[in-house]
Structure 1
Amino acid sequence: MAVDVEIGRSRTPDGPDGLAGALAAAVDGEVRFDAGSLAAYSCDSSNYRQIPLGVVVPHTVDAAVAAIEVCRQADVPVLSRGGGTSLAGQSTNAAVVIDWTKYCNHVVSVNAAERTCVVEPGIALDDLNRALGPDGLMFGPKPSTHQSCTIGGMIGNNSCGASAQAYGKTVDNVRRLEVLTYDGVRMWVGPTDEVAEGNDRQAEIYRQVRELRDRYLAELRTGFPKIPRRVSGYNLDSLLPENGFDLAKALVGSEGTLVTVLQAELELVKVPKYQVMVVLGYPSLEQAGHAVRRILPHKPWQLEGLDQVLLDLEHEEHKVDTAIERMPEGRGWLTVQFAGDTFEEADRAAKGLMDDLKDDQATIRYLDDPGREQQLIELREAGLGATAHPAAKHENWEGWEDSAVHPDDLGDYLHDLRELLNSFGYDETETSLYGHFGQGCVHTRIPFELRTADGIAHYRKFVEEAARLVKRYDGSLSGEHGDGQSRGELLTTMFGPELIQAFREFKTIFDPGNRMNPGKIVDPNPLDSHLRLGTGFAHPPLPSEFSYPRDDGKFSKATLRCVGIGKCRQSSSAEGDVMCPSYLVTREEEHSPRGRSRLLFEMVRGEVIPDGWRSTEVRDALDLCLACKGCKVDCPVGVDVATYKAEFLSHHYRHRLRPMAHYSMGWLPIAAQLGGRAPRAVNAVTQAPRLAKLLKRAGGIADERQLPRFAEQPFTDWFAKRPQRRRPQEPDRRVVLWPDTFSNFFHPSIGRAAVQVLEAAGYEVTLPDRPVCCGLTWISTGQLGIAKRALRRTANVLRDTIRAGVPIVGLEPSCSAVFRSDAPELLPDEEDIRRLSMQFVTFGELLKDWDPPQLDVHAMVQTHCHQHAVLSSDAGLMERAGIDREQLDSGCCGLAGNFGFERGHYDVSMAAAERVLLPKVRAASKDTVIVADGFSCRTQIEQATDRRAVHLAELLATGLQKGLS
């Protein structure tokens, strides 16, 4: 359930002609006309940008009906929005946006015997399939955005995905729809006998649709391409008598331009129990395309294609490298998956294909390992992210994203499309061709120049030529993502004027005033209008503290990195993912990395958000960012909101009074140095209820939090007083153990344990001879000038160590991550910082070849977010120690450094922890060891449960002690 969070501003200021007030009075939901909401909903995954009039987040389906009635009375357009991942501009418009995803996301009913269900439009596909899992059922089509795309959006776009090879498009899996017209007709539609009794508006709609069908009967039977992936245009062929006059199917793929979908009755399929995969490598992608016709008679479950360019781009981004290395020889590949209720059934089909291809030119690899198969699926699904921002190259854009032809024509079409791309100067080293080859659907992103008049004209000329090419193949402009604005203007090329007129009349029946998502499909906006960039866009000369090496050193370009895929909006954290804890709790677009990126982009543009770094809208959106850095690695294009937040806070509060928490916790390293001199006296104050309450109030700390206790003796004092140890016999075994603030002053047992383990592993352990700091707390609070000074001082203290190449070993993941990531981006021109970033290793990385003591324990492991995002896993070391390791897929612990201690953040912090982590810890048996290397994770567990978590160093040290006893 979403947590309601007050984000610090009025959500319903006066809108145009009092529209906001009218909606707020009539709608059971959230009405938002503020600049932050308009900015967050201004874009989707396409090249387009339109500022909405306002946003309505209805609590119920009936509330959405009430909102549309208010819009009808005010005669304003409406846009029904799903996951916001549309690639052709369908979900951006100057309209009132209805966002279904936060509340209207329920499974209404399931009939397992009939294999049907009824759902609300805001439910995400993965959430639906999780709910259906106990019945062994699923909804068949599965786009690559399955984590966040909604059923309503899939119906709007007639979505497909790789599994459409077996189950067809969304339209093939919809039984009935409950819809609402702009003028208030609410009805269930589906196949019908065409009887339309009565004189009401519903009967009138049926009669008019039937009459339209009859007028264009010949065109409907001959004008639609006979291919498996025709998504462009309205599905008027579903109205043919031989197709059951199915109005529901005719409305699928209409992109919200005709009706609003309120509920959907879906047909379900059995979850296949077994899958195997055959990977085929060919000398070229065209040859792979030609091979498809030979493979299809074997009835594969999925049949995907990818080229060398995609693999090169994904390798540059270090995405699924293991899968890339295991690909068979070739430059064009097909991944052919077979499914069955038994392994033998799937295996038999795969072996039959392999036998059939013995005389083929393909190199063949057979896989029956689900893990390796999943890697290859992820390899294909990562395509959009990998192709959007090729390293050191021009950004690639949609615009000709998913054309489709008959599979028999695929090889020839791939050849001609590549020739067309080459003739327009779109380099084949940058432009990948891949996709759902078993159905003739080809994905690509192209380096269009969308900032200059000549570049935009070149883009227009290319897509017009590409449309004519597809027409020659009797194909479809869109084979998956719909028409929107990218292809709406080109539909005449594909369908001809008669069918376009039929589309226009069909829209008029349902929406005579053109109020439903206008400018899409019928009378579309020009494909080169409303561009997100356009000739008016320029990267403003915004000074920045970080260097943004992946974005040409420009913060403004970093705000363009998000391409709207929406993986950050998954409602349940995917296995192994951290991103995005605040969105998982609040379900607010503005609290996702995508939403925050949108606001930062609008801040850069300066129109919707005109006050730049001083923007309160951006500040409020970033306020609930936990700076976990999960998006840095989990986002397919590497959006790094933690860095953007630190950058923004640095400028926002420059020469201004900061929140008190920035002083009390941002300056923690200094406070800890002072407190560590008299820990008993300090603890007497911080642990006394009345005094602690006053301290927390003064420091901007949440009343609910317990202030951490200082240790009786800092780790550095213990180390200085311990007896001198004999140096190891082996040379070059000296390491410097980093005495981070948290381990040093609060949990020194970790440092002592680490020394014991490192010395047992044969290392000579030393500490810096003066106090040092990574600057983490100053970075997270945006006090970057001070952070830079702390880092320079640290580099000065460690200069000889750094230049001697001695490893520096970190125990606290957040501090280690600073040196590996933040420090070189804050101080890119300082060589000692660069050297330090390469010499700084984690405890587990240093011991990667050590043979540890054997521990007969079961450990529940909470991995720190920064370790997940920047560092490497300790799994290998734990496995060698014989630890029975249970990795928690809990994401962020919710405390996240200073975040969970700050006043106003406690509810979100605890909600994040209660998703998975805390219930798992409470349910763990007493003999299960809870392992958490991060101070924040340990603190959250200690303050919310009766368990204490240990650092891996402490656990390994117990093994050494047992060996000595």
Structure 2
Amino acid sequence: MNSALPNAPAGLARVDVPGVEAALRAAVDGDIRFDAGARGAYATDASNYRQVPIGVVLPRTVDAAVTALRVCEEYGAPVLSRGGGTSLAGQSTNAAVIIDWTKYCNRLVSVDVEAKTCVVEPGIVLDDLNRQLGEYGLEFGPRPSTHSHCSIGGMIGNNSCGATAQRTGKTVDNVHRLEIRTYDGLRLWVGSTDAGELDRIIDAGGRRGELYHGLRELRDRHSEQIRRYFPEIPRRVSGYNLDALLPEHGFQVAELLVGSEGTLATVLRAELKLMPVVPETAMLVLGYPDIGAAADAVPAVLEHSVPVQLEAVDQRLTEFMRAKDLHVDSLALLPAGRGWLLAQYGGDTPDSALEHAREALRGLGRGEDDIDVVLTADADEQTELLKARESGLGATARAPEISDGWPGWEDSAVAPERLGDYIRDLNELFEEFGYNHPALYGHFGHGCLHVRIPFRLTTASGVRTYRDFVQRSADLVRSYGGSLSGEHGDGQARGELLVRMFGSEIVQAFAELKGLFDPANRMNPGKVTAPYPLDAHLRFGADWDPDAGPTQFAYPHDDHSFNRAVLRCVGVGQCRQPHPEQGVMCPSYQATRDEEHSTRGRARLLFEMLGGHPDSPISDGWRSTAVRDALDLCLACKGCKSDCPVGVDMATYKAEFLYQHYRHRLRPMAHYSLGWLPLLAKLAEPVPELANLLLHAPVIAALGKRLAGIAPQRRAPDFATETFQSWWRRERAAGQPRPGDPATVVLWPDTFTNHFDPHIGRAAVEVLESAGFAVAVPTDTVCCGLTWISSGQLPTAKKALRRTIEVLRPWIETDTLVVGLEPSCTAVFRADAEELMPEDQQVQRLSRRFVTLSEALLHHAPRRWEPDQVDVAAIVQKHCHHHAVMGFATDTTAMRRAGIDAEVLDSGCCGLAGNFGFERGHYEVSMRCGESALLPAVRAAAAETLVLADGFSCRTQIEQGDTGRRAVHLAEALLPAVRRDSRSTEDADAPRSDNRTARRAAAVGAAGAVAGVLLWRHRRRR
């Protein structure tokens, strides 16, 4: 059966999709994904475009990828090689079989230190490569802002550059050879070819000889036009690199293919040129009245000491960053001005790097003490300053006042000396078209300008205006002798415009080159040559008509619309970082390396689920099993809420989806057993020993886990013999302060502290009282509704919250501070509750007064908090929700003041994540997350080093992760007596083991007695 490919070019209208899938499954060693989830997740990249792929292949080896290409050739199926999927011009979306190299084909194959080269597979991530090359003192030079997750194959496809290209050049300047395969089966290494070797290749004949003969003929026919129309500027990325074939450039076929966006051949391996790592750097930041004046100053900066990188940001970008609370610490380091140049200089020592910067400063006639100058050699300060530049895409994606900013004309380039005038003319064009002053930033040392523009892409008139604007802009940049693209390539966004830049003869030469490599037009068709129209296949467009229906969450930050919330994701791909070092998100992607288990992949599937396009692979809306399966491995860690540059909150979207998906339907049993944990804990409160006995009795526990949907490998935590609230009622309730009493705080008795770890609550009481607080604890049952929220039982969560609000009403009305000990519960009141119940004023008031323990001590104590010095080293696992919602800086300050030498681990999510790690089917992913950094760090910690973790999930994962350690809460760590708990789990629990055994024995006896009575009564009836 043939399947139609929507809007495919001539000759590609029909492909035997079932046949291709069956053949790939039979022949290819890899993951073959033709399901709705994979096709939906790969339907868009970071551009304005959307095309649903035929299917996705994740080959385990390069040879497996070659086999996949052969199968596609047999069936005439189009092919698209894809790296990180962050292309901004539509290169990595197509109605084709997508080959994603990043999951498996990501090895550093070899390193030649003397020659300063290495061989890599195309799926290796840039930061991973440079981390491995670091031991040789070498690096691959180009460094785009997506360096933590972009792949080398994608960089080759796009001819990526980045800020460091000021020193290193573009990717094309750093590629020595490429191993490629053409669509029709030719596999070979290509690189520089001298005249003698070129003659020998052509004389040998065959497909290779035919190809090289055609290339030479093409070069000779068009050499004069190539020299005439290819602009001599640092950042010409548009078009094919025909100039690489000129004799003066050595007939460099590898350089010809760099930047061809997968339209000519598939790159199988790459031999890269390397360069020494710059030992030390210094940063010079110069302020100017506006961004145009900053651009005017670029030639003068370059005239003196050549920087490693020369970047720029404008006042508008800093306004967007402040409004979105994005890297605001970096903005405090900027000098006076409304436009800034950031020049980084390298040297063998900090002093030599500083001297290069000072040389430039002297040449500009400025001094270090000027208010519009900042000079620093501090590595942390330089990193902070560069964050302002690297955050450009996230800061402008959904910016205040201009709403949605889109690519489409985001990386034009001119000669650096003409950049200021070009910016002023472009600003006039923005005014003419009614595009409210977008932010400008970019690689000014190379004349490359970045901007996201508020194109109105959801109306017919808006799309027409978009087309008119980019055509006018193309003519403008051509009048400056510039390039349509200075970094991001042509793809679909600019393929149609190439004739305006190069003229018809060069564009015809591009078509001839395409014909030589890919005569059947099966390699990423419709991009660069014979391109789709720039306003076709839009992700939105005038016909886009999504409908999510009524929702439980209000989405107050997204115009009260789930549709708008889903559109937050613009494809930056920061959630695809393979390691947790840069934050928390996205632990399931780090464990699986599957696109649909990234925040971006899930957001793409939710977008498809909205039903805005008739060809969407997700046709069953909220009932979609594909979306359900993708969200199943979301840990609801909320890391994306803070780490995603556009603030996608997948935990909230997951909760909404689960509610809608299971509405009026039977749920998985884990939703009942774990979602209703607060109620189950309350039922166990009178008989904790019996409850623990049943939870751990071999046969009963195994059966119970099976019925409850719990992972069999997990051990249920023990209920405390006395809850924290019971202790409070017995010991302290009679004398607790009343609402409105001075210096009063309410200590929140969350389910986990109350029923499992009451000693933490008691420690917190002692700590708060030592800081001068009068502590009160609610004696009635209260709950934040967390477990119901995370399992999507949102109406029940609202009921729990309303009941809690009534219990707390006297304290809320007196604006009493409420202190939370469990980060996930605190995060509910700081974020989720407001979004669930935005109309409830009491919820709003409580949110503003709900604080962490460290916030209470440092910011609200009746007197300056001067704790006893604990004088102990500690490793700290920060809870995901703490990181994402409250931020962790206050906790590190509190630990420092108490004399705790704390190392906060770059470990990401612990992997247990509330319900997630206990649910059947999640154990393997849960443990992979834990083993990525946290659990090995705990095992390696010295016995006298404390292990700190405020989250109940984190502590449980550490205890059950074969570490032999028990983690403690900050409240415990602030008490000097906690030192005794730095021993192993066995030692720490030893004093309690006999009592526990005795209690269990008593419970066994009691249970046996009850069973005996029941059996006797049963026999008497018989």
Same fold (TM over 0.5): yes
Q: Which residue in the other structure is 1:752 paired with? A: 762
Q: Which residue in the other structure is 1:57 paired with? A: 58
Q: Give the secondary-structure state (helix, strand or coil) at the position aligned to 1:847.
A: helix
1:474 aligns with 2:481: yes
Equivalence map 1:636-647=2 (5 Å):
636-647=645-656
Residue 732 of structure 1: how far off its partner (Å):
1.9
Residue 872 of structure 1: how far off its partner (Å):
2.9
Equivalence map 1:727-742=2 (5 Å):
732-742=742-752
Q: Give the secondary-structure state (helix, strand or coil) at the position aligned to 2:946.
A: strand
AA matched with 2:117: T
Give the Cα–Cα distance (whole angstroms) in 2 for the partners of residues 914 and 676 of structure 1.
34
1:867 aligns with 2:877: no
Q: Give the secondary-structure state (helix, strand or coil) at the position aligned to 1:442.
A: strand
Task: Describe the superposition over 1:53-84 as per-residue Cα deviations: whole angstroms up to 9, x where unpaired.
Answer: 11111111111111111111111110000110
Equivalent residues of 2:295, 2:444 under 8 A apart = yes
Equivalence map 1:422-571=2 (5 Å):
422-428=431-437, 431-571=438-578
Give the Cα–Cα distance (whole angstroms) in 2 for the partners of residues 710 and 559 of structure 1.
40
Query: In the superposition, relative to structure 1, how do residues 390 and 769 fare at CA in structure 2: closer, same or farther (>3 Å)?
Result: same
AA matched with 1:207: H
| From 624, 628, 638, the counterpart of 1:629 | 638
Equivalent residues of 1:15, 1:21 under 8 A apart = no
AA matched with 1:366: L
Equivalent residues of 1:227, 1:475 under 8 A apart = yes
Q: Give the secondary-structure state (helix, strand or coil) at the position aligned to 1:633.
A: helix
Instruction: Provide the aligned C-alpha RMSD in A.
Output: 1.5
Q: Which residue in the other structure is 1:310 paired with? A: 317
Equivalence map 1:691-706=2 (5 Å):
691-706=700-715
1:118 aligns with 2:85: no
Residue 230 of structure 1: how far off its partner (Å):
0.3
Residue 678 of structure 1: how far off its partner (Å):
1.0
Give the Cα–Cα distance (whole angstroms) in 2 for the partners of residues 242 and 532 of structure 1.
43
Q: Which residue in the other structure is 2:679 paired with? A: 670
Equivalent residues of 1:306, 1:435 under 8 A apart = yes
Query: In the superposition, relative to structure 1, how do residues 800 and 217 fare at CA in structure 2: closer, same or farther (>3 Å)?
Result: same
Q: Which residue in the other structure is 1:917 paired with? A: 934
Q: Which residue in the other structure is 2:426 paired with? A: 417
Task: Describe the superposition over 1:517-555 as per-residue Cα deviations: whole angstroms up to 9, x where unpaired.
Answer: 001111110000000001111241521111112211111
The 10-residue stretch of structure 1 (702-711 or 685-694) with the greater mean CA deviation from structure 2: 685-694
AA matched with 1:645: K
1:377 aligns with 2:370: no
Task: Describe the superposition over 1:470-506 as per-residue Cα deviations: whole angstroms up to 9, x where unpaired.
Answer: 0000000000000000100000000001100111101
Give the Cα–Cα distance (whole angstroms) in 1 for the partners of residues 952 and 18 of structure 2.
53
Q: Which residue in the other structure is 1:832 paired with? A: 842
Residue 731 of structure 1: how far off its partner (Å):
6.3
AA matched with 2:722: Q
Give the Cα–Cα distance (whole angstroms) in 1 for the partners of residues 867 and 210 of structure 2.
79
Give the Cα–Cα distance (whole angstroms) in 1 for the partners of residues 897 and 55 of structure 2.
57
Give the Cα–Cα distance (whole angstroms) in 1 for the partners of residues 173 and 267 of structure 2.
17
Q: Give the secondary-structure state (helix, strand or coil) at the position aligned to 1:402.
A: coil
| From 619, 628, 646, the counterpart of 1:619 | 628
1:574 aligns with 2:581: yes
Equivalent residues of 1:15, 1:33 under 8 A apart = no
Residue 394 of structure 1: how far off its partner (Å):
2.3
Residue 559 of structure 1: how far off its partner (Å):
1.3
Residue 392 of structure 1: how far off its partner (Å):
5.7
Residue 16 of structure 1: how far off its partner (Å):
1.9
Give the Cα–Cα distance (whole angstroms) in 2 for the partners of residues 109 and 411 of structure 1.
44
Give the Cα–Cα distance (whole angstroms) in 2 for the partners of residues 731 and 24 of structure 1.
71
Q: Give the secondary-structure state (helix, strand or coil) at the position aligned to 2:874.
A: strand
Structure 1 unaligned spans of 5+: 1-13
The 10-residue stretch of structure 1 (913-922 or 335-344) with the greater mean CA deviation from structure 2: 335-344
Q: Which residue in the other structure is 1:887 paired with? A: 904
Residue 680 of structure 1: how far off its partner (Å):
1.0
1:188 aligns with 2:198: no
Give the Cα–Cα distance (whole angstroms) in 2 for the partners of residues 148 and 665 of structure 1.
35
1:711 aligns with 2:712: no
Q: Give the secondary-structure state (helix, strand or coil) at the position aligned to 1:930.
A: strand
Give the Cα–Cα distance (whole angstroms) in 1 for the partners of residues 775 and 444 of structure 2.
57
Give the Cα–Cα distance (whole angstroms) in 1 for the partners of residues 813 and 399 of structure 2.
34
Q: Give the secondary-structure state (helix, strand or coil) at the position aligned to 1:216.
A: helix
1:333 aligns with 2:343: no
Query: In the superposition, relative to structure 1, how do residues 901 and 541 fare at CA in structure 2: closer, same or farther (>3 Å)?
Result: closer
The 10-residue stretch of structure 1 (322-331 or 210-219) with the greater mean CA deviation from structure 2: 322-331
Q: Give the secondary-structure state (helix, strand or coil) at the position aligned to 1:404.
A: coil
Equivalent residues of 1:309, 1:432 under 8 A apart = yes
Task: Describe the superposition over 1:385-435 as per-residue Cα deviations: whole angstroms up to 9, x where unpaired.
Answer: 11010136421100101000000101111111111111111111xx01110
Task: Describe the superposition over 1:250-298 as per-residue Cα deviations: whole angstroms up to 9, x where unpaired.
Answer: 1100000000000000001111111110111101111100000000122
AA matched with 2:857: L
Give the Cα–Cα distance (whole angstroms) in 1 for the partners of residues 420 and 736 of structure 2.
70
| From 689, 692, 698, the counterpart of 1:689 | 698
Give the Cα–Cα distance (whole angstroms) in 2 for the partners of residues 114 and 317 of structure 1.
46
Give the Cα–Cα distance (whole angstroms) in 1 for the partners of residues 371 and 268 of structure 2.
48
Give the Cα–Cα distance (whole angstroms) in 2 for the partners of residues 346 and 469 of structure 1.
38
AA matched with 2:908: G
Q: Give the secondary-structure state (helix, strand or coil) at the position aligned to 2:503.
A: helix
AA matched with 1:64: A
Equivalence map 1:50-129=2 (5 Å):
50-129=51-130
Give the Cα–Cα distance (whole angstroms) in 1 for the partners of residues 702 and 736 of structure 2.
48
1:953 aligns with 2:971: yes
Residue 142 of structure 1: how far off its partner (Å):
0.4
Q: Which residue in the other structure is 1:896 paired with? A: 913
Q: Which residue in the other structure is 2:791 paired with? A: 781
Q: Give the secondary-structure state (helix, strand or coil) at the position aligned to 1:867.
A: helix
Give the Cα–Cα distance (whole angstroms) in 2 for the partners of residues 664 and 747 of structure 1.
20
AA matched with 1:510: F
Give the Cα–Cα distance (whole angstroms) in 2 for the partners of residues 113 and 855 of structure 1.
52
Residue 199 of structure 1: how far off its partner (Å):
1.6
Residue 217 of structure 1: how far off its partner (Å):
1.3
Q: Which residue in the other structure is 2:31 paired with? A: 30
Q: Give the secondary-structure state (helix, strand or coil) at the position aligned to 2:519.
A: coil
Equivalence map 1:583-602=2 (5 Å):
583-602=589-608
Q: Which residue in the other structure is 1:7 paired with? A: none
Q: Give the secondary-structure state (helix, strand or coil) at the position aligned to 1:134.
A: helix
Give the Cα–Cα distance (whole angstroms) in 2 for the partners of residues 555 and 461 of structure 1.
31
Q: Give the secondary-structure state (helix, strand or coil) at the position aligned to 1:798.
A: helix
Q: Which residue in the other structure is 2:354 paired with? A: 347
| From 196, 221, 226, the counterpart of 1:220 | 226
AA matched with 1:45: A
Task: Describe the superposition over 1:663-714 as per-residue Cα deviations: whole angstroms up to 9, x where unpaired.
Answer: 0000000000111111111111112121111111111001000011011110
Question: What TM-score does the superposition give when structure 1 sets the normalisation length?
Answer: 0.97
Q: Which is higher, the Rg of structure 1 or of structure 2? A: 2
| From 844, 867, 879, the counterpart of 1:852 | 867
Give the Cα–Cα distance (whole angstroms) in 1 for the partners of residues 885 and 213 of structure 2.
62
Residue 221 of structure 1: how far off its partner (Å):
1.5
Residue 923 of structure 1: how far off its partner (Å):
1.1
The 10-residue stretch of structure 1 (232-241 or 674-683) with the greater mean CA deviation from structure 2: 674-683
AA matched with 2:394: G
Question: What TM-score does the superposition give when structure 2 sets the normalisation length?
Answer: 0.91
AA matched with 1:119: V
Give the Cα–Cα distance (whole angstroms) in 1 for the partners of residues 74 and 693 of structure 2.
65
AA matched with 2:389: R
Q: Which residue in the other structure is 1:6 paired with? A: none
Give the Cα–Cα distance (whole angstroms) in 1 for the partners of residues 517 and 133 of structure 2.
33
Task: Describe the superposition over 1:586-610 as per-residue Cα deviations: whole angstroms up to 9, x where unpaired.
Answer: 0000000000000000000263211
Query: In the superposition, relative to structure 1, how do residues 174 and 777 fare at CA in structure 2: closer, same or farther (>3 Å)?
Result: same
AA matched with 1:686: L
Equivalent residues of 1:687, 1:709 under 8 A apart = no
1:253 aligns with 2:259: yes
The 10-residue stretch of structure 1 (743-752 or 761-770) with the greater mean CA deviation from structure 2: 761-770
Give the Cα–Cα distance (whole angstroms) in 2 for the partners of residues 359 and 709 of structure 1.
67
The 10-residue stretch of structure 1 (920-929 or 167-176) with the greater mean CA deviation from structure 2: 920-929
Residue 188 of structure 1: how far off its partner (Å):
0.2
